[in-house]
A and B are shown apart, each in its own frame.
Chain A
Amino acid sequence: MTLLFHFWEHQFWRLRSSFRATIVSGMVGPLMYLLGIGIGIGSQVDVQAADLGTGRYVDYVGPGLMAAAAMQLGATESLWDTAASLKWRGNYVSAVTTPLSTAQLFVGHASWIGFRALIGGTVYLVPLVLFGIPERPTTVLAPFVAALTATAFAAPISAWSGHVVSKGQTEQSFPMILRLVILPMYLFSGAFYPIEQLPLLLEWVARVLPVWHGVELVRGLIIDTDLSFIGGLTHLAVLVAYTGLGMLAGARTFTKALGT
């Protein structure tokens, strides 16, 4: 545990010069989305007819975007950046010559991305409040779910990057993952409209993949929806399961990537 702490400390120290920029972009980015999609596109949406269960479209889309943004962070940080750290950047290659183990390194790696999503989600509460969106006190828990949504992507995708590095493969699969997996998931995440609107097959794909669970849970924590306690726990369990399985896989692929 102390080793994990030192890993986070190390990562924090590396990024501290860019941390303010991260926080600012964590505000500005979602604000743009809220304005553009929430208000702009929202003006074209007949909320009553769409049966979204919220007063305004922005109330629907605002919370969902927190989880969707966390997914994007979790995915993008797990590709080139992760591969570079495993290959030529000094941070991971030298960290495993200390008492830190490769499995601990992986847990630290994924949870560090989760921590950044936590910061992002917390910062994002400001525009949410400015728009008068939150209805429930459980809103304060939403950034933690955002963090878990990020790790549900970061752990498996980083595990894949570890595999790519350990096999000495090129990174040609990375843009494909973003374009063919993450982008569609963003659109089919339930952030913008209920997934019940999708064709049945796609709806089930969305249900199996983690992002929808993050979106539903975050929304249920921030505004009044028909999400039940059990429903909420189920979403949580799915996010935990993806994170956990990703950690098991990643501990192995990082070990191979750093120690052949």
Chain B
Amino acid sequence: MHFKARASAAAADKALQAKLATAKGLFVEGRRRAVAEIDLEATREASKAIRNRCIANLDLWLERFEEEATRRGGQVLWARDGAEICRLVVDIARRHGVRKAIKSKSMLSEEAGLNAALEAAGVQPVETDLGEYILQINGNESPSHIIAPAIHKTKEEVAELFERVHGKPRKTDIGEMTREAREMLRAHFLSADMGISGGNFLVAETGSVALVTNEGNGRMVTTLPKVHVVITGVEKVIPTLEDLATLMRILPRSATGQTISNYFSVLTGVKRPEDTDGPEHLYFILVDNGRVDLVGSGFQDMLRCIRCAACMNHCPVYQTIGGHAYGWVYPGPMGAVLTPLFVGLENAIDLPHAATLCNQCGVVCPVKIPLPDLMRKLREQQVERGLRPWGERAALTFWAWLARHPALYGLAAKLGVRYLSWLAGGEDRIRILGIAPAWTDGRDFPAPEGRTFRELYSEKHR
């Protein structure tokens, strides 16, 4: 099913929109309150500058990160694409005789389809983020939001799922349901041999990975098992802990409206003799998967993204169609830009057009990514590469030619308006518009006054 079909189905799904609206209320209201505590514009500028600084010298900061992480007992591995991520993780699992891997949220593992690869290799992956867990036990459903993966489910749907899968009496209270999930997960936490996490930032000067979570599962995943594998995109590196402090002022506020997330970990190196916990083996899999090509391209700005989800939380289109309609890992405005860049322009032809360019996203983005401009640039590339439908191109070319010939344009406008008036048949609206049926499927088209401004004006000024 293509984007259009999925989006149309979702646009008619008022239950989905009600669920999204509840979450939107929390996120949008929460963000509004939280960003009022800081000098928002100055922090956005500073965050943008930090991210730009890393990306401008990405190779140098990555080398520095590798050096520091290695010095502290970590091993840095590089993956070109999703298949390489899977191969590396499976290799690590084999080397350490891993049978079960517990996971905290990692978007890269979604990009790679890692769970399926682990299962195929005889390793049981267990998602421990509550939202991801819900999706996993529901037949490996895909996430529909980057920080609230199960946002498309109601409490009742989850209660029903838990009852069915856990085989326990149905709960109705969210607290009780969470407790039940925690009990189910506890055994996994204790029996897993490997923890897999994403990383919000990599700190070059200390070789650390910073993790922002709200459920505490991230701590267990990264400290209990003897092996910890961090999988993250190469663009996540930042120079210093000082930079981390700045970005942390804006990330939780933009994401969930929190001053600081419930848990914030900066993990550095393997367990030392004097440490009470921590992994004995620490691997960093740093992934390209399309990112490196963006450096120096017209889309470099996109690499600043810190995956806060503010853009989708504020996007009227996302709020109407939800995340699944976007068809890949990343939904909303950031997905409308990233997906075509990562999976190929021709494989996501509708996404850059699935936006009104209202720029709600651009004004809330904590690192000032001009998302609508990037969508427009993708549209330009589609035109340059001949990927737009022939009819659309022909219509636009003809219209643009006409608009450069005022006399002919005036005549065409005059005739067009007469035609529209005739369609309205004396009413103040057109109910069915043959040339743009998609418009009148969902609303009327107000009838024109009857004559063009140009006609009336030249009459008056003759």
Q: A and B bound?
A: no
Contact residues of A with B, CB < 8 Å?
none
